[in-house]
Structure 1
Amino acid sequence: MSAAKEELGDSRAVRRFDRYILSQLLTLFGFFALVLVSVYWVNRAVVLFDTLIASGQNVSVFFELTVLSLPNVIRIVLPVSVFAAAVYAINRLSSESELTVMQATGFSPWRLARPVFFFGMIVAVMMSILTHFLVPASLSELTSRQKEITENVTARLLTEGSFLHPTNGVTFYIREIAPDGVLRDVFLSDQRTDDHTTTYTAEEAYLVQDESGPKLVMVNGLAQVHTLTNDSLITTNFSDFSYDISALVDIDATQRLRLEHLSTYRLLFDSHSVAEELETKRGWVVYEGNARIAQALIVIVFPLVGFAMLLLGGFSRFGVWPQILIAFVLLVGLETMKGAVSDPVGDDPNMWPLTYLPALTGCVLVGLLLQLSARPIRFRRKAAS
């Protein structure tokens, strides 16, 4: 009976140890993810803010678009966050001799890796939710909203009393917009060519929409062409003139459907029709679907590589940076391998198993590192002999 109670007490202590390490990993993961997402998101938000404000949009549109871009930002920084959290947590536990005590009680490296594996599984579930559901839905909605904003020429160009720059080299000005939609005293300068500048001024103008895109019809105006090579000026009076402004709003760039917008089910089980719809190779469709699954698997490998590498290096208060650097280089190698297998799969969809090669290589690497950590003396003896 006493032996059974002692064994039960040991198992409870082991479970508490697992929960303790797991809580440390999750806490640090939340911190690193928050910091990295904030940095990455702020950098992108500044560019988006300048673009939207220059286009005449309000702040609510800015917040809407930044929220829609957030899932993809989280997906990008998640692997880095999970690796940083694992390395920091394991290094702190080893420096405080907590892992040393557990090893002294008979814990093998494989057993110590269990909470790290559970940690990787939890983050892999998060990554799966992002890659299969949140990111495609948010990117699709983001493209739809950008399309609406781009096609809304009124929001981009119809702002009276302000000089607008809808694209590089173009300046647009309207003195007044009448209640019936007539634009009065219009100024348009086109400096997109190197050899000449064209300036249009008109008493009135109208925005019309046809099959080829939006047009600006100017009435009773003057066109001035300034040739820079010989410094000459040619002026032409016109009673009405149509100017194509579709190039200023770049509608085609936002209307284009991409693989990132589609569901994983369509990518894997309806790849032929998707390839025809997007006019791309079927291999790239298959690769995108399998890459989403592989992303979740590689997230499990990242913390285990950091853990195994620190465990192999020993539990010293100094000298862990070489192990961290080696672990980082190994992960960069796995990411490089992921990019290397994309082209073969893109050319031949039957090569789709190569998509999982980086995750499989990472698992083998973790196994080797943990095996070396479990038998370091035998390894040194073999090396000495």
Structure 2
Amino acid sequence: MSRFDRYMLSQLLVLFGFFALVLVLVYWVNRAVVLFDQLIVNGQSAGVFLEFTFLSLPNVIRLVLPMSVFAAAVYVTNRLSSESELTVMQATGFSPWRLARPVFVFGVLVALMMSMLMHVLVPRSTAQLNFRQNQITENVTARLLSEGTFLHPTEGITFYIRDITPDGVLRDVFLSDRRKPGEVSTYTAAEAYLLNSETGAKLVMVDGLSQIHVEAGDRLFTTNFSDFTYDISRLIVDKTKRKRALEHIGTAELLLHSEAVSEELNTSRGWILEEAHGRFNRPLMVLSAAIVGFATLLLGGFSRFGVWRQIIVAFVLLISLEIIRSATLDPVRSDGQLWPLIYLPSLLGFALSFGLLWFSAHPLRLRAGATA
């Protein structure tokens, strides 16, 4: 690799890192606000919040990589063009194909990063994130420790705590159980404690009143108690046989056992193949985005007024490729035999890059054609 290639590649990687960092921070802040509201307010620790944040990062990075690659390629090309560095290199005999070599290497490196994300990190992180979210949801203790709010942990149950002391004592507890047809059980207590035992979570109420209203005969039974234990482990819904999500399954399994996965998830084979081949197409689109951004700006040549028009054209081309990608999803999901359509936007991106570089290498032919 020549000195110019190393210089341009270093510029691309630095700017790519900058744009990726900025975009990841923007996405992360929005995600962090939601996570903070869902976890911290519901009694979870800061450690759980950080764990969920890190598990969501691979998917966030996957979303920002294509735009970061495109922005880096456009910015570096614009700067080299405005400072006449590209003009000097072309004057020394560098063709557009030769100038595009460091951009191609840059695109390949980022495409490899995207492949690692799509095939390994994102499926594993989203699967673990979903598993931890279900654990939090099924954690009755965490769900009930919310003071001043009427909670409904499951259908037919209403729970209220006026105050929670620093040592874990629940003050002024109200519990209503309406799950049994024709009967409503209401428990109130001055104090209560949540305990974990071998048989499950228990709510121990102290100094309270039990009221059972039976609709048959409209009868009410009341009992004062000094202490009473309520088994809240019954509120936990058993989800040990929960189905896997499509995005959590490995690429090899999606391709080699698509029929079995389709039956397991009760979804069409088209969705399976779209997810699998989409993981291969995303890295290719990253590579094409880098070359399209470079080739479009190179087409304009040197200008004192900059290449802002070429930048707009490049951005429109990138948006057009993304629109084409979105348009191919529904046909593939409806008919799995159409999976080659997934690669159409990438192939168009490479063809467009080839055409732009060819036009840049033959400017005299273009002018002669326009004059004729």
User: How far is the alpha carbon of 1:28 from its aligned partner?
Assistant: 0.7
Q: 1:176 to 1:50 in 2, by over 3 A?
A: closer
Aligned to 2:68: 81
1:356 aligns with 2:343: yes
Per-residue Cα deviation, 1:99-121 (whole angstroms, up to 9, x for no partner): 10010111111111111000000
Q: Which amino acid aligns with 1:280?
A: T
Q: 1:56 to 1:108 in 2, by over 3 A?
A: same
User: How far is the alpha carbon of 1:155 from its aligned partner?
Assistant: 1.2
Aligned to 1:172: 160
SS in 2 for 1:123: helix
The percentage of aligned residue pairs carrying the same residue is: 59
Aligned to 2:34: 47
Unpaired runs of 5+ residues, structure 1, are: 1-13, 190-197, 225-234
- Measure, in 1, the Cα distance between the counterparts of 2:60 and 2:159: 34
- Measure, in 1, the Cα distance between the counterparts of 2:194 and 2:212: 18
Q: Which amino acid aligns with 1:202?
A: T
Aligned to 1:193: none
1:58 aligns with 2:45: yes
- Measure, in 2, the Cα distance between the counterparts of 1:201 and 1:72: 45
1:135 aligns with 2:125: no
Q: 1:86-97 residue pairs with structure 2 within 5 A?
A: 86-97=73-84
- Measure, in 2, the Cα distance between the counterparts of 1:134 and 1:202: 49
Q: 1:251 to 1:364 in 2, by over 3 A?
A: farther
- Measure, in 1, the Cα distance between the counterparts of 2:313 and 2:237: 46
Aligned to 2:17: 30
Q: 2:275 aligns with which of 288, 293, 311?
A: 288
Per-residue Cα deviation, 1:339-373 (whole angstroms, up to 9, x for no partner): 11111111111111111001001011111111111
User: How far is the alpha carbon of 1:319 from its aligned partner?
Assistant: 3.9
**TM-score where L is the length of structure 1:** 0.79
User: How far is the alpha carbon of 1:384 from its aligned partner?
Assistant: 2.4
Q: Which amino acid aligns with 1:67?
A: F
Q: 1:57 to 1:98 in 2, by over 3 A?
A: same
Q: 2:303 aligns with which of 289, 294, 316?
A: 316
Q: Which amino acid aligns with 2:2?
A: R
Per-residue Cα deviation, 1:134-181 (whole angstroms, up to 9, x for no partner): 11010011111111111101012135xx2246579x87315579x9x9
- Report the more deviating stretch, 121-130 or 346-355: 346-355
Q: Which amino acid aligns with 1:28?
A: L
- Measure, in 1, the Cα distance between the counterparts of 2:88 and 2:164: 78
1:338 aligns with 2:325: yes
**Total equivalences in the alignment:** 343
Q: Which amino acid aligns with 1:368?
A: G
Aligned to 1:163: 148
- Measure, in 2, the Cα distance between the counterparts of 1:358 and 1:128: 17
SS in 2 for 1:202: strand
SS in 2 for 1:41: helix
Higher helix share: 1
User: How far is the alpha carbon of 1:221 from its aligned partner?
Assistant: 5.1
Q: Are the equivalent residues in 1 in contact too, given 2:136–2:142 (CA < 8 A)?
A: yes
Q: 1:202 aligns with which of 181, 188, 192?
A: 188
